[in-house]
Amino acid sequence: MELKIIAKQTTIPAFSPTVIQVKHINYYNYPYTSYEGDEITEIVIQKILEQIPKNINICLSLTPFGEDDWLEVISNGNWITLGYSSNHDGNYYSYNAAFADTEDLSPLESGGQSSIKKCFVLQDMIIGQKAVNYFIYTGKLYPGIDWAKQV
């Protein structure tokens, strides 16, 4: 897989934490539920953000029914990976340059099956929370981390 690295920015654009851009949420571990449209409330978002440093496996989609423009968020409490997929803009992955020269795999799995390389996982849960929060309210990738775009 060929990658284009998009370096993090030092300045994070301001955003309004009142307009929720995510239209569909699927939990792929407990509580195995989904939220659609108006069901995505501040309480649901807060619960998601609180679960990130513990254990979470969800998809946050910008489209109803979760069929396109989604961010996969997987965390086991020590590692977190973010993967964005769009039919219009391609695939992006959180990027960890510390593991750029290795093929080592993380303990995280996408879809419960596909092992994720360490170069696509982060160990900073706070930055992971910020990235997810930013995506929820802006519909954009968090510019405060490095991203790898599949080309």
Got the DSSP string for 140-151? Answer: S--TTS-EEEE-
CA distance 121 to 70: 17
Q: Which domain holds residue 132?
A: 3-150
Rounded (5°) CA angle 42-64-58 = 60
Q: How many domains does the chain have?
A: 1
Measured distance CA(133)–CA(2) in Å, rounded: 28
pTM greater than the 0.85 cutoff: yes
Instruction: Provide the mean pLDDT of the chain.
Output: 95
pLDDT tens-digit profile of 51-102? Answer: 999 999 999 999 998 888 999 999 999 999 999 999 999 999 999 999 999 9
The residue with tokens 């979760």 is: 66
Classify 73 as helix, strand or coil.
Answer: strand
